[in-house]
């Protein structure tokens, strides 16, 4: 389990782009379960949409990618540094099954499918109340800053 302080030590993201509030469990090199509390105070809700606020799908995917980054960093026993960047490099099979709205608690379940030559592929699912909100396979890598 990781609280927000540990998350801030492992991810370079900060408000308003940090999309993980807590890690519920992590099984190194295998899987992670994290959560995002979705509140009406999110900076995107005034424009998406003013009369019916819905969390943008791309931010749900980004939350899954951040959970994947946490899995990678905790598995390899490292943290991001000033000399490298964790990049989101691909997405396959993204599907959105239900809207995510203020008051929802987004549960992010990410499993490592494979890791080859510094490229990781994950299966990711975002759930609300046990129902799938989104799913995708995502690919990430770490590269030196240029």
CATH (domain of 17): 3.10.129.10
- Phi/psi class of residue 130: alpha, beta or left (left: φ > 0; alpha: ψ in -120 to 50)? left
Residue ranges making up the domain that contains 8 = 4-144
Query: Model confidence over 105-133: pLDDT tens digits?
Result: 999 999 999 999 889 999 999 999 999 99
Q: Which of 13, 48, 51, 52 is catalytic?
A: 48
Length of the chain: 146
Specify the number of domains making up the chain: 1
Q: What is the pLDDT of residue 139?
A: 97
Residue 48 annotated in active site: yes
pTM here is 0.94
How wide is the angle at C-alpha 53 spanned by C-alphas 49 and 58, nearest 5°? 80
């Amino acid at each position: 389990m990781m609280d927000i302080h540990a998350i801030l030590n492992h991810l370079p993201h900060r408000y308003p782009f940090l999309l993980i509030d807590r890690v519920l469990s992590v099984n190194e090199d295998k899987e992670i379960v994290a959560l995002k509390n979705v509140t009406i105070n999110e900076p995107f809700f005034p424009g998406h949409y003013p009369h019916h606020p819905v969390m943008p799908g791309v931010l749900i995917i980004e939350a899954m990618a951040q959970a994947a980054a946490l899995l990678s960093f905790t598995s390899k026993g490292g943290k991001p540094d000033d000399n490298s960047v964790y990049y989101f490099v691909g997405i396959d099979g993204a599907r959105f099954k239900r809207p995510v709205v203020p008051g929802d608690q987004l549960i992010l379940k990410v499993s490592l499918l494979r890791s080859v030559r510094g490229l990781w592929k994950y299966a990711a699912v975002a759930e609300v109340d046990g129902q799938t909100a989104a799913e995708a396979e995502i690919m990430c890598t770490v590269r030196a800053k240029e």
